[in-house]
Structure 1
Amino acid sequence: WKDYQKTAMICGIPLPKGMREAERLPEPIFTPSTKAETGDHDENISCAAMARLVGEARTGQVQDVSLRIYQKGASYAAQRGILLADTKFEFGLLEDRLLLIDEVLTPDSSRFWPADQYQVGCSPASFDKQYLRDYLVDSGWKVTDPPPVLPAEVVANTRQRYLEALERLTGKGLES
């Protein structure tokens, strides 16, 4: 959202002007990034920059796989009353084979919004790590600082959001 506010683009992709916070894009987009050093944020890059790093064919392959996984995940979540606002996937290579690595479609790697509470123009309620991120920003913590001790209430509220995502997406609780 912050990138869009500055440039009306994300990763070099022009988006419609005048969009409001949390407004759905006309269609899903592929937004590559590079892995940052510990303590830094991953850096968003354009598809052209990605192609310079890994080649056009591999860029196209990663884009295709990413969008297909996203669309399946978004459809699954929508059937359960959740909007999959965005997500990230991490890929690697093993003997030239593309591998999907790390977590996939979890509250740590995705933004899950309750469909029944969704409103364009305001920061949506979520079942993901955004609550914790907001707390850390509001507290003044910087990623270069040592991790803070989190208040029990923040831990409990974050846990509750993750459990809500689990229950809505799977129909089962943690004990199941």
Structure 2
Amino acid sequence: MTTLADWSLSYQGKVRDLYIPDSASSAASADRLLIVASDRVSAFDVVLAPDIPGKGAALTRISAWWMDVFSDIPQHLLDESPPEEVADRAVIAQSLSMLPVECVVRGYLVGSGWKDYREHGTVCGIALPEGLSEGDRLPEPLFTPATKAALGDHDENISYDEVVDLVGADNARALRDTSLTIYTRAHQVAWERGLVLADTKFEFGRGEKPGEIILADELLTPDSSRYWDVERYQAGGDDRLESFDKQVIRRWLASTWDKTGTPPSLPADIVSTTQERYLELEQRLRG
């Protein structure tokens, strides 16, 4: 945790810290928030050690770049500079009433979607054609929402009808349509930079205008999205689905830890490889 003048820590997540102005009694009463991306890394819903140097700054730059690409969509960023101590890895944003939905969009059959398809022929209850293989592009992007889990818990997939029950029909429709629009546009932008945007997730809050939703949290970072290399993907082979994120950590952890007790410390080579993957993705996106 970083101590900052005029700001108080309100909440510490797996990889982000949320600060409110000292003048505010709570996040709900604050007019703005300071969101700091740490160098912490999590996998299998636990925070690991050591940190990944420079990760927080890279995530912040990538998210800010995408927010600029989607400047036509209402978003939470304010035109105010964060404190100097965290300037490279923080943003100041509107304080919103967040909608309790992880807006997941899947464009390719991978991860838990592939597991679901193998067992049931569906992804989150949505029927798909027979004969698809891992990594195949889906006939159309799917909106597969989930509940947002507390620290240490797992997100849980929910149906669209359950989203309607949670936030109302108008908000549910806006979440779905906006999420699919952002994904479709972002997929094209990424493809032009030699990247496949396989899936991603968004978060939104309510704006001041009736029915307005505001894009919040991080946007299209390797912590919230799965990116592949276009050339490797098209060529096939064992590494076609190698992603620009912490996949190397998940793979190493799965081979050394049974998910009980305290996870082992990350070896130096795993840390450096992960760091390189984040920085390569940033360079390819931002140029």
TM range, smaller chain: 0.7 to 0.9
Superposition pairs of residues 1-40 of structure 1, within 5 angstroms: 1-40=114-153
2:255 counterpart letter in structure 1: D
Query: Is contact 1:23-1:121 (8 Å) kept?
Result: no
Give the distance between the partners of 1:115 and 1:99, measured in 2 at CA: 31
Give the distance between the partners of 2:120 and 2:237, measured in 1 at CA: 18
Q: Match of 1:63?
A: 176
Give the distance between the partners of 2:152 and 2:164, measured in 1 at CA: 26
Compared CA separation, residues 126 and 6, structure 1 to 2 (3 A): same
Q: Match of 1:105?
A: 220
Q: Match of 1:149?
A: 265
Cα deviation for residue 130 of structure 1 reads 2.1
Provide the aligned C-alpha RMSD in A.
1.9
Give the distance between the partners of 1:128 and 1:61, measured in 2 at CA: 29
The TM-score with structure 1 as length reference comes to: 0.88
Fraction of identical pairs, as percent: 52
Structure 1 residue 116 corresponds to structure 2 residue 231:
yes
Query: Is contact 1:111-1:130 (8 Å) kept?
Result: no
Structure holding more strand per residue: 2
Q: Match of 2:154?
A: 41
1:135 counterpart letter in structure 2: W
Give the distance between the partners of 2:159 and 2:255, measured in 1 at CA: 30
Task: Extract unaligned runs of 5+ from structure 2.
Answer: 1-113
Structure holding more helix per residue: 1
CA deviations 1:83-119 (Å, max 9, x no partner) are 0000011122244531222111011010000000015
Q: Which runs of 4+ in 1 moved over 6 A?
A: none
Query: Is contact 1:11-1:47 (8 Å) kept?
Result: no
The TM-score with structure 2 as length reference comes to: 0.55
Task: Extract unaligned runs of 5+ from structure 1.
Answer: 172-176
Query: Is contact 2:257-2:263 (8 Å) kept?
Result: no
Give the distance between the partners of 2:264 and 2:202, measured in 1 at CA: 27
Cα deviation for residue 166 of structure 1 reads 0.6
Aligned residue-pair number = 170
Structure 1 residue 130 corresponds to structure 2 residue 247:
yes
Q: Match of 1:174?
A: none
